[in-house]
Structure 1
Amino acid sequence: MDINTEVHNAYEVIKNGGIILYPTDTVWGIGCDASNAEAVAKIYALKKRDDSKSMIVLMNSEKMMYNVFKEIPDLAWEIWDLSNPADTDLEKQKATTLILDNPRNVAPNVIAEDKTLGVRLVKEPFCFKLMERMKRPLVSTSANISGMFAPKTFKEISPEIINGVDYVVNLHRDKVCKNPSTIIKLSLDNQVKIIRK
């Protein structure tokens, strides 16, 4: 399948409130429109995950970031620049998720109880193009039942997950995924806490 066809197919499902199984810049993920609370609830139900555990969202541009966060610490951009150097290929980049304060314009059930949201800027072509079509952030949570291991390959994803989504993207199914992202909590007063290396 070519990427443009898969972007179109995934977009049609997401536009109608569906959830997809798709390759991200790290592991295979389950995703939906981050502003659609009903679609987000479907993902929590499929993963059997407590909805007090927030999910991260992917974004593809500075404009999208500022639509969700009114204020973004300068340090956030410095961290992303260091983890995504422009002169290296995607394989050498280290995916970094930042947990930032006071998100808006997303579904309430993707926001953590402390009013934060984990977000990752991605350049991975499928995710990037899909968000260009959506013009909205994309939920990203690992393709596993809560408490089980995150699958490194498509073959490791359980039938329960595959059968529970509305569309499975037909790209990169033979690829071994990279490790999950580094997670850093960064408050507006520039306090930094490493959640996952």
Structure 2
Amino acid sequence: MSNAAFIHIHPDNPQEKKIREAVEILRNGGVIIYPTDTIYGIGCDIHNTRAVERVCQIKGVKADKVNLSFICSDLTHISDYARIETSVYKVMKKALPGPFTFVLEASSKVPKYAGSKKKTVGIRVPDNNIVLALVRELGNPILSTSIRDDDEVIEYSTDPELIYEKYKHLVDAVIDAGYGNNVASTVVDTANNFEVLREGAGDIEQYL
């Protein structure tokens, strides 16, 4: 496999041409690394099963076991992928865009991965102009998982040049938007009264 593209995109004013370049890679079944409002993520088009399998392979997990999140550009289409109660929606509306992953009951529209139906899906709307522009241009959510191991924070999860060195033979593109953070999103279980499953960058208490 040839080296991945290294695409420099302005974090505040993403250049349309470069957003289209990255989305073209996603549409062709590519895997990309992109910035979020927390750490850099790795992902692909949610509807491309082979690309999803590649993401799982890179992470070293089985597609039917992995906890995957969908990055949406806003809350408009969330009901397409998840069953959501009004009380939960109100909290999400206040907290997003922001550094949270909300775990919701998956709807029938969530694609099957490795032949298995997901019972839950994590929903993310990051406060990051680049990834939101990617999702809007693509027209559906991007599948997302963090590039770092949950147990260790290492420098490669924040520096795009080091990320590129590590992943250039594994993915199709790395977006360089400057240094990322090294704290992941806060994962919140909406079925259990907003129980925090993983402490992260966001404090859900202020939105309850």
Q: Please, what TM-score do these two structures have when normalized by structure 2?
A: 0.76
Q: Deviations over 1:160-190 (max 9, x none)?
A: 42321011123x23x2415211111112xx6
Q: What is the CA deviation profile of residues 122-152 of structure 1, one whole-angstrom value per residue up to 9, with x for unaligned ones?
A: 3421111111111111111112468654613
Any residues of structure 2 matched to 1:72-83 within 5 Å, and which?
A: 72-83=84-95
Partner in structure 1 of residue 72 of structure 2? 59
Q: Secondary structure at the match of 2:113?
A: helix
Paired residue type of 1:96: F
Please list, as runs of the form range in 1=range in 2, the aligned pairs for 1:30-69 lying within 5 A after superposition: 30-51=42-63, 52-69=65-82
What runs of 5+ residues in structure 1 fail to find an aligned partner? 85-92
Residue of 162, 171, 195 corresponding to 1:165: 171
Change (3 A) 1:147 1:136: same
Q: Which residue of 2 aligns with 1:154?
A: 160
> Which of 138, 145, 148 is matched with 1:134 structurally?
138
Tell me, yes or no, if the aligned pair for 2:35 and 2:180 is still in contact at 8 Å.
no
Aligned to 2:197: 195
Q: What is the 5 A alignment of 1:176-187?
A: 176-177=180-181, 179-187=183-191
Aligned length: 184
| 1:9-20 matched pairs, under 5 angstroms | 9-20=21-32
RMSD value over aligned CA atoms? 2.7
| SS of residue matched to 1:62 | coil
Residue from 122, 146, 155 that aligns with 1:118: 122
What is the distance in 2 between the residues matched to 1:111 and 1:140? 19
Deviations 1:66-110 (A, max 9, x none): 2212x31223333324434xxxxxxxx751110000233333229
CA displacement at 1:47 relative to structure 2: 1.7
| Structure 2: unaligned runs, 5 residues or longer | 1-7, 200-208
Label 1:24 to 1:112 Cα distance change in 2 as closer, same or farther (>3 A): farther
Report the AA paired with residue 169 of structure 1: I
Q: Distance in 1 between matches of 2:17 and 2:151?
A: 33
Query: Tell me, what secondary structure is at the counterpart of 1:57?
Result: strand
The 10-residue stretch of structure 1 (104-113 or 128-137) with the greater mean CA deviation from structure 2: 104-113
Partner Cα separation in structure 2 for residue 110 and residue 195 of structure 1: 25
